[in-house]
Structures are given as structure tokens and as C-alpha cells.
Amino acid sequence: QLLAEVRACSRISKGRYRTDSGSAKATVPVCGTRDAVFWKADMDIDCDGRKTRACNRKTDPYFLPETAFQSSRGEPLDSAALPHVVVPGPSKVWDYRKAGLTGGSVVAVVYRDRVRYGVIGDTGPTGIIGEASYAMAKTLGIDPDPSTGGAESGVTYIAFKNSRISPIESRARAQSRGADLAREFVGRS
């Protein structure tokens, strides 16, 4: 039902994004509705943040010990434990903040027959879109390995406007609020 709501794109980005740093063509627009922002892309694996057995410099050659948004204790998020999505850093193409989104905004991620909920937890390069945490990939049945995992395509990201949860690291709150927002989103049409 969620996918039916995001079939048509009313583009809110001034341009399009690439899905990977090596991809030549920018093909992914950011689309918007009254209540949500969405994009359809691949899924690269974000392992940044708190160092864990799954996420560290040995498992991820691009590992960074910080995330753009912190836990309620002021620490980097744990990408191995917290399902979250990475949005492109603000640019001329699109600024997530102007679309009613911030760290902790609730997100539904759809892949094949699965819908999982999380939050916006990090920002990435300004020209690339389609990245989520190790934990989000794992919950969707996508290989979470930051070096070899991910999904080539078929991932839909739906971020709900003005939906910030606190604390950002509460999986239960993201799940509960996400399910409520998804029901409202589908019911409005």
C-alpha cells in the first residue's frame, strides 16, 4: 500500500542524485507529498558511528567514528543496532531541513515485500542518495556487509515530515510511530 502512494513523483529536489560515487549519471529525484518525502534508489551500507564488532575500520574501509546526529547521551549512533537512513548533506540540489526533516525523523524503508521503520540518523555526500545503516539492511534481509553488501536497486525510502522521535535511538518508538504514520499516509488518499 505504501508503494502505491509513492508511484507518482512530484519532484522537490532541484536536480537528481547519483546512487554511487562512481556512477556517471544522476538519475534519482527526491519527491514530495504533503506529509512525506521519498526517493527510490539502491542501498549502500552505512556503518559509521559507534565502533562495534560489525562496524569498525577493519569491516568498513570508509568507517567514520561519528554520525551527523547523536544519541540522547550525546554519543555517535550505533549503525549496527539502530535502523536508520542517511540523507544527502544540504546542497543546491536539496536540503532535507527545508522539507521538514531532521535527525530522528521517522522513515519507512520498503524492499521487496518488507517494510521496516527507522529514523534519519546520518548525512552523507551532497551528490549521492541511497544509504542506510547496517541494522536497517539486516532487518530488510539485505546483506549488511559494508564492503560487499547492500542492494543494487529496488529500495524505496519514505521520510515523514515533522515526525522526529526522542530519544533518537529508540527502535520501539520509531517502529510504533512509523506504523501509525504509514497508516495515516495510506489512509489519506
Q: With contact defined as beta carbons under 8 Å apart, do 142 and 156 qualify?
A: no
Instruction: Determine the residue type at 102.
Output: T
Task: Find the mean pLDDT for residues 158-174.
Answer: 97
* Predicted model pTM: 0.96
Confidence of residue 147 (pLDDT cuts 50, 70, 90): very high
CA distance 51 to 72: 17
pLDDT beyond 60 at 189: no
pLDDT beyond 70 at 9: yes
Going by the DSSP 8-state scheme, the letter that residue 71 receives in this structure is: -
Q: What is the pLDDT of residue 24?
A: 72
pLDDT tens-digit readout, 57-109: 999 999 999 999 999 999 999 999 999 999 999 999 999 999 999 999 999 99
pLDDT beyond 80 at 22: no
C-alpha cell at 138: 539486516
Confidence of residue 188 (pLDDT cuts 50, 70, 90): low
In this structure, the dihedral spanned by the alpha carbons of residues 179, 108, 121 and 180, taken in order and rounded to 10 degrees, is -20
> H helices of 34-148, where?
134-139
C-alpha cell at 5: 502512494
C-alpha cell at 7: 508511484
Show me where the domains of the chain are located.
2-187
Q: What is the pLDDT of residue 21?
A: 81
The rounded mean pLDDT for the chain is: 96
Q: What is the pLDDT of residue 49?
A: 97
pLDDT beyond 90 at 23: no
Q: What is the pLDDT of residue 1?
A: 85
C-alpha cell at 76: 555517535
Q: With contact defined as beta carbons under 8 Å apart, do 127 and 18 qualify?
A: yes
